[in-house]
Structure 1
């Protein structure tokens, strides 16, 4: 494992960015201009100017012994693969206002981030883990997805309020041929703003604007998929809550199990399907956490094999149902067997990850293969671990 990681690390050059101290650069735009494909940009605590990135870079924040998460502000961060630009991108331990991912053809990762407005356009594989996504400058939702595949694991997504109308926005809005999969996530629509005469419209959790959208949701009773409210209305709350799902145009292929989804337009998959979460959630107080808690949920007595690998795959093993196999079993790093405890009760694996400046930004894939009662097998959602 270490030999493989060292080989990957040799191809990377790391640059430091600090707005008030000794570093290679004082702000992000200059660092992006100087960096080459595959480089790491390490942002120290501070505030930085947004920019457009057309290279395959990794932006890492939150160094050890720091209390402040670096923030990328106006005019926002755009990662663009148009015209032979970037194909992939990694961002972790940062706050970002208005993050746009566009035309990226390889896997793109966002981990442990706080994002105000996420827009994904024509991207083949975007993976977001352990992150908070809230209202930004986007007009329709906190996350807008167009013709893209997006995987969200252990995230909290909340729709905001439209500034001019004070109507609530959607948590997630979809256009075109989009495929979004959520595991262990909280997804809620936005509440209406404070108006003198409250007759405004709260936002749904999921909004389909046009196209053929696909949404798959795995989780537990702790993971609501819920519309926003009008907290200022004197009417009964049932009458002033948005639906969880709103279809303005196009179609929605929805599959879900076990989450709190009270007005879902289709019934839940039964029995509930296993799923995997990655923790801890959010940035720790005293620098990067050298461990990852992997939590697998499913029917008591079922057995899960949790696999962590360097490199990815996109196949579905013969005889298995569920997701495609994303981990590359030929480059396996860890394999742990777990007896599952329940759909709301996790079975834990704690992984002490190798750390060090030379390994920062390297990604590992993680997924669970579950032997279900009755002799069938199931592949859970996949996620990633970004080394610090």
Structure 2
């Protein structure tokens, strides 16, 4: 019998597992940060400079300026409160980087040698840059950029990254603004630009930035592409018909009206897409295939909330889901199962299953998260194997406890 979301036993089994398996995380030091109240630190940067690698910062709402994180730390906002706000947030040169429920005008993740996880974060002003990282996961994020004179900036750029997963996120390229001073139209930025990187884009909406025409003399501002796969990169897109890749709108002029495309692959880049809606078409070696299965963590909230491990795929298939406490990257699985092994097999503590209801209708078990903040910073990952006419791996999804 398959467990359903209404059945209590999956959650009752997971709660003791949270408490037992997260105990090493509980041993890591938790530090409080508040710019307007009693706490261990009033400044996030001072906290970063002071605490040890592996520690966890519990950050209350406030304005914290610029922060550079150059050691393996976890920065947590509280999902039940406003996001702590930063002028810029840079994760540089550490083994791991983890952030939850933060807002920043600019975000960079550079030279992370292990696993980076950015969840429920908002970037408001500038291009998000991820460079030279081994293994990165973004989930439930909103990334955007303000309009810029001349060409708009990309919403997200990936450069020389081994593997990047993006799940349930919204990413928009910056709009271009024409300039009568330098006589250039304003081209929109790409939603996501890849160079020498691998991307798995899951259940997300990505839009290219809008272009703006220069009126005197008259030159059209072209729209940005939703996903630009460049210089030897590969991208796979999975999702449902309510997910969208949309080329940015061009602004009419001479030469004619030019919109961006949903996916453009060039200079040795290739892309595969399945399940999602698109506007603007494709350009270059882009292949559409039958919709492929994927996972998401649905729901939101802090301690004591419930989260649903939601699977999408061909109706009637069975998705076997494995929950673990650490990430992994074994690309050898891709040839047989379609995607790498992304959860560490030695840390799997629970398996469950659900019957899939369709590519556009999710199903899966619901789990409670523990009360209190003692386990803040603990992470749990899941990956599925969908059994139908063949066995197909899903993406991995990650859940991090907060306070």
Give how far 1:246 is off.
3.6
Taking the aligned partners of 1:277 and 1:41, their CA distance within structure 2 comes to 26
Which residue is equivalent to 2:236? Answer: 216
Which residue is equivalent to 2:226? Answer: 205
Give how far 1:306 is off.
1.6
Taking the aligned partners of 2:214 and 2:363, their CA distance within structure 1 comes to 46
Q: How does 1:309-348 map to 2 (within 5 A)?
A: 309-315=324-330, 320-348=336-364
Give how far 1:96 is off.
1.6
Q: Deviations over 1:114-171 (max 9, x none)?
A: 1233201100001001111111699630101100021101111111124666431110
TM-score (norm 2): 0.84
Deviates more, 1:35-44 or 1:138-147: 138-147
Correspondent of 1:147 among 154, 157, 160:
160
Structure 2 contact 201–237 (Cα < 8 Å) conserved: yes
Q: How does 1:142-221 map to 2 (within 5 A)?
A: 142-148=155-161, 149-162=163-176, 166-175=186-195, 177-193=196-212, 199-209=220-230, 211-221=231-241
TM-score (norm 1): 0.87
Helix, strand or coil: the match of 1:45? coil
Give how far 1:317 is off.
6.0
Match status 1:126 vs 2:136: yes
Q: Deviations over 1:360-388 (max 9, x none)?
A: 0111111111101x3x2111011111112
Taking the aligned partners of 2:352 and 2:172, their CA distance within structure 1 comes to 34
Deviates more, 1:320-329 or 1:213-222: 320-329
Structure 2 contact 220–257 (Cα < 8 Å) conserved: no
Match status 1:304 vs 2:319: yes
Q: Deviations over 1:211-247 (max 9, x none)?
A: 21100100111111110114x6499xx9442122345
Which residue is equivalent to 2:37? Answer: 21
Q: Deviations over 1:311-362 (max 9, x none)?
A: 2343466995121222234433332211111111111321212243221011
Taking the aligned partners of 1:141 and 1:319, their CA distance within structure 2 comes to 32
Match status 1:253 vs 2:270: yes
Taking the aligned partners of 2:312 and 2:136, their CA distance within structure 1 comes to 23
Q: Deviations over 1:275-305 (max 9, x none)?
A: 112222xx65xx5662222211111110011
Unaligned runs of 5+ in 1: none
Taking the aligned partners of 2:147 and 2:133, their CA distance within structure 1 comes to 20
Structure 1 contact 44–63 (Cα < 8 Å) conserved: no
Structure 1 contact 355–387 (Cα < 8 Å) conserved: no
Report how many aligned residue pairs link the two structures.
Answer: 366
Q: CA RMSD in A?
A: 2.6
Unaligned runs of 5+ in 2: 1-16, 180-184
Correspondent of 1:104 among 92, 100, 112:
112
